[in-house]
Amino acid sequence: MKVKYFAWVRERIGKAEETIDPPASVRTVDDLIGWLTARGETYAYAFEKPKVIRAAIDQAHVKPDAVIAGAREIAFFPPMTGG
Protein backbone atom coordinates (compact mmCIF):
# COMPACT_ATOMS: atom_id res chain seq x y z
CA MET A 1 0.00 0.00 0.00
CA LYS A 2 0.97 3.59 -0.53
CA VAL A 3 1.55 5.85 2.47
CA LYS A 4 1.56 9.64 2.25
CA TYR A 5 2.81 12.15 4.79
CA PHE A 6 1.96 15.83 5.04
CA ALA A 7 3.21 19.00 6.77
CA TRP A 8 5.53 18.35 9.74
CA VAL A 9 4.92 14.59 9.60
CA ARG A 10 6.39 14.70 6.06
CA GLU A 11 9.27 16.92 7.16
CA ARG A 12 10.19 14.73 10.12
CA ILE A 13 10.10 11.49 8.12
CA GLY A 14 11.92 13.16 5.25
CA LYS A 15 9.68 11.92 2.46
CA ALA A 16 6.23 12.70 1.07
CA GLU A 17 5.23 9.13 0.22
CA GLU A 18 6.41 5.56 0.03
CA THR A 19 5.13 2.06 -0.63
CA ILE A 20 5.07 -0.29 2.34
CA ASP A 21 4.17 -3.90 2.94
CA PRO A 22 3.39 -4.37 6.63
CA PRO A 23 2.77 -7.88 8.04
CA ALA A 24 -0.80 -9.13 8.57
CA SER A 25 -0.46 -8.53 12.32
CA VAL A 26 -0.64 -4.80 11.55
CA ARG A 27 -4.44 -4.53 11.46
CA THR A 28 -5.38 -0.95 12.33
CA VAL A 29 -4.16 2.59 11.75
CA ASP A 30 -2.87 2.57 15.32
CA ASP A 31 -0.95 -0.68 14.65
CA LEU A 32 0.53 0.89 11.52
CA ILE A 33 1.74 3.92 13.48
CA GLY A 34 3.45 1.52 15.89
CA TRP A 35 5.01 -0.46 13.03
CA LEU A 36 6.25 2.70 11.28
CA THR A 37 7.61 4.09 14.57
CA ALA A 38 9.86 1.03 14.88
CA ARG A 39 11.36 1.67 11.43
CA GLY A 40 13.79 4.33 12.60
CA GLU A 41 14.32 7.55 14.46
CA THR A 42 12.81 9.83 11.80
CA TYR A 43 9.55 7.87 12.09
CA ALA A 44 9.77 7.77 15.88
CA TYR A 45 10.15 11.57 15.85
CA ALA A 46 7.17 12.05 13.49
CA PHE A 47 4.93 9.77 15.57
CA GLU A 48 6.26 10.72 19.03
CA LYS A 49 2.79 11.97 20.02
CA PRO A 50 0.53 9.46 18.25
CA LYS A 51 -2.66 11.01 19.69
CA VAL A 52 -1.97 14.22 17.74
CA ILE A 53 -1.62 12.41 14.40
CA ARG A 54 -4.62 12.31 12.05
CA ALA A 55 -5.08 9.61 9.42
CA ALA A 56 -7.00 9.08 6.21
CA ILE A 57 -7.67 5.88 4.29
CA ASP A 58 -8.29 6.31 0.57
CA GLN A 59 -8.71 10.06 1.10
CA ALA A 60 -11.32 9.91 3.87
CA HIS A 61 -10.71 10.70 7.55
CA VAL A 62 -10.52 7.64 9.83
CA LYS A 63 -10.07 6.95 13.54
CA PRO A 64 -7.01 5.15 14.96
CA ASP A 65 -8.97 1.87 15.30
CA ALA A 66 -9.85 1.79 11.57
CA VAL A 67 -8.85 -1.46 9.85
CA ILE A 68 -6.30 -0.96 7.08
CA ALA A 69 -6.98 -4.18 5.12
CA GLY A 70 -7.78 -3.35 1.49
CA ALA A 71 -6.55 0.26 1.71
CA ARG A 72 -4.81 1.61 -1.39
CA GLU A 73 -3.58 4.81 0.20
CA ILE A 74 -3.09 5.76 3.83
CA ALA A 75 -2.12 9.28 4.85
CA PHE A 76 -0.75 10.65 8.11
CA PHE A 77 -0.79 14.33 8.97
CA PRO A 78 -1.09 16.84 11.82
CA PRO A 79 -4.41 18.52 12.74
CA MET A 80 -5.51 20.67 9.82
CA THR A 81 -5.00 24.42 9.74
CA GLY A 82 -6.60 25.55 6.47
CA GLY A 83 -9.30 28.12 5.90
Partner 1 sequence: MNAPVTIRIQQEDFDTAREIAALSRGRTDIGAVVTFSGICRGPEGGDEIASLTLEHYPGMAEAEIKRHADEALARWPLQGLTVIHRFGRVTPGQNIVLVVTASKHRQAAFEAAQFLMDYLKTSAPFWKQQEGAEGKGWVEAKTHDEDAAARWTK
**Rounded Cα distance, 75 and 60, in Å:** 9
Q: Which is nearer to partner 1, 3 or 38 (CB)?
A: 3
Query: Does residue number 81 form part of the binding site for partner 1 (CB under 8 A)?
Result: yes
Least distance in angstroms from the C-beta of 10 to partner 1: 8
Q: Segment 38-77, which members bind partner 1 (CB under 8 A)?
A: 56, 59-61, 75, 77
Cα–Cα nearest to 28, from 74, 59, 78, 60: 74
Nearer Cβ to partner 1 (38/60): 60
Q: How many CB atoms sit inside 10 A of residue 9's CB?
A: 21
